[in-house]
Structure 1
Amino acid sequence: MNYPVNTEKLNNLHLSAACLLRGLRLLSTPGLRHLVGIPLLINLVLYGIALVGGVYYFSAFIDWLVPAWLDFLRWLLWPLFGLSFLLIVYFTFTMLANLIGAPFYGRLAEKTVVLLKGQPALVSEASLGKALVSDSLSEAKRLLYFLTRAVPLLVLFLIPGLNLIAPFLWLAFSAWFLALEYMAYPLEVHGYRFDEQRRIAKKLPFGVFSFGGLVTLGLTIPLLNVLIPPAAVIGATLYFLEGQIGDRPDAGSAKR
């Protein structure tokens, strides 16, 4: 199936990164600010809990993961597994935050399109409640997709030898899934379903991994991680607007 997406233009390391940074700058835009406030509060609470829990359990996690016979390599493995621990903790809380904030992110993506293109809203106020339910269901489906792939990856951390490559696999998966997560919102505005979203993402490996890699990095930095999710939604919307996505005939009615 052909998509009205300029894949040659979007499959660009610089463009996706630039859109994410621009998304950060647009967080305070008057037309978007009211949709950003509640997700920011949700993120602040959840990432605060993640930070406290991470500090408390970090040493125990490293002691449990590095067996006694590898003590002589602890200095080398500590930063590797430490980064993995941060990614797992913040990734888990990101999924929870996104599940709660999904209705706001769907509206945020739509409002970004409205402001930047000057076109009328694709979801009327009368159907807002239905749209919010649809966004929550979409987020739940993405969460299921995440769990069916994340659990096998996490098992690798428990297997001696294989746990040395597990952090790199987890990092790659984090970048891919987080890009897919935040790019889903602008794609859904134009009526693209989950399977179609993945097919589009597969055509844009450089853009997807650049965007997702920066999001992953941002989520590990305290305070910045609170801003990253709504900024990523706006940035992903900007990114696809650059690719000139056109409305499909069933846009607005083809949500998952």
Structure 2
Amino acid sequence: MNAPLPRAARELGGFGYWLAGFRLMWQPGLRRFTLIPLAINVLLFALAGWLLLDHAGDWLEGLLPSWLDFLYWVLMPVLVLGLLLVTFFSFTLVANLIAAPFNAVLAARVEAHLTGRPPADSGKGMVTESVTAVAGEVGRLLYLAAWALPLVVLWFIPGLNLLAPFAWFAFSAWMMSLEYVDNPAGNHGLSFREQRRRLRQRPALTLGFGSLMTLMTMVPVANFLAMPVGVCGATKMWVEGFATRDDGSTG
């Protein structure tokens, strides 16, 4: 059983857990469970990269209002980063929806590796676990749709759309943590509402880990590894920072 990360590492905005995700995905006994999520991620992010290269230029030109043309070289990098963020964030959600059953299995194996025992709700059968995982993913997509609509509108308001990339980044960080923490939390039967409640109790840790995962999805090639890194890192973060022990405390 691996020793918990020191408290200082836990409070470094989730950085320690992000690094732990890299280490865990290559551990003997865990590597084979990362292969399917990894393959799904590679295929979808390759598609996202192709779409950006083929269509991004025309779309970005239309986002910048004519009265700000004199700031073209200052504002265009902000809009480019925003487009990368929205595109790769969207593809991350699709990838996680497709890979949900495999990510749940990976999270259960990582937790057993860390604690020496599997989650209490795991081992119910692949079909049951698949249905549960996909249902949870659909619930998160509905939550995303409800909160993302104002951010989408912001993109189409001249001037204010320059704030959209920053608003999207903060929202993406929150959603990334929710997305990956659901795998270990869902294995324990915790509702989406309860997961949100627990993550809100540790905002620095939650948003720090989510920010690193968001940035990772925006880096070519590195984003291929984002899903297994996120599942493994979030499982360790859940076990050490959010899972309720028998005495009712967390972490």
Same fold (TM over 0.5): yes
| Cα shift readout 1:119-153 (whole Å, capped 9, x = no counterpart) | 14535645231011100110111111111111220
Distance 1:116 1:15, change over 3 A: farther
- CA 1:143 to 1:118, structure 2 compared with 1: closer, same or farther past 3 Å? same
Q: Runs of 5+ in structure 1 lacking a partner?
A: 1-8, 249-256
**Which residue in the other structure is 2:215 paired with?**
217
Please report how far the alpha carbon of residue 18 of structure 1 lies from its aligned counterpart in structure 2 after TM superposition: 0.6
Equivalence for 1:201: 199
- Maintained 8 Å contact 1:106/1:135: yes
1:238 aligns with 236
For residue 31 of structure 1, give the secondary structure of its aligned residue in structure 2.
coil
Counterpart contact for 1:175–1:215, Cα < 8 Å: yes
Residue identity in the other structure for 1:138: G
Moved over 2 A (4+): 9-13, 120-128, 243-248
Whole-angstrom distance in 1 between the partners of 2:155 and 2:238: 35
CA shift, 1:226, in A, is 1.0
Which of 182, 185, 188 is the matching residue for 1:184? 182
| Alignment partners' CA distance in 2, 1:15 and 1:234 | 17
Distance 2:196 2:112 in 1: 24
TM-score where L is the length of structure 1 = 0.88
- Matched residue of 1:243: which SS? helix
Whether the 8 Å CA contact 2:121–2:188 is kept in 1: the answer is: no
**Which amino acid letter does the alignment assign opposite residue 219 of structure 1?**
T
C-alpha deviation, 1:190, in angstroms: 2.3
Alpha-carbon distance in 2 for matches of 1:11, 1:208: 13
- Cα distance in 1 between the residues matched to 2:236 and 2:167: 28
Deviations 1:151-202 (A, max 9, x none): 2201101001211211111111011111111111111222211000111111
8 Å Cα contact 2:20/2:233 also seen in 1: yes
Are the counterparts in 2 of residues 12 and 206 from structure 1 also a CA contact under 8 Å?
A: no
Q: Structure 1 counterpart of 2:172, which letter?
A: S
When normalised by structure 2's length, the TM-score is: 0.90
Distance in 1 separating the partners of 2:242 and 2:41: 31
Alignment partners' CA distance in 2, 1:13 and 1:80: 29
Question: Structure 1: how far apart are the matches of 2:78 and 2:124?
Answer: 50
Q: Unaligned regions of 5+ residues in structure 2, if any?
A: 1-6, 247-251
Aligned-partner Cα distance in 2 for 1:68–1:33: 51
Letter in 1 for 2:161: N
% identity of equivalent residues: 40
Q: Which residue of structure 1 lines up, in the alignment, with residue 73 of structure 2?
A: 75
Cα distance change, pair 120–149 in 1 and its aligned pair in 2 (3 A):
closer
Are 2:226 and 1:228 equivalent residues in the alignment? Answer: yes
| Cα shift readout 1:41-67 (whole Å, capped 9, x = no counterpart) | 111111001001111112112111012
Distance verdict in 2 for CA 1:179–1:62, change over 3 Å: same
Q: How far did residue 16 of structure 1 move?
A: 1.9
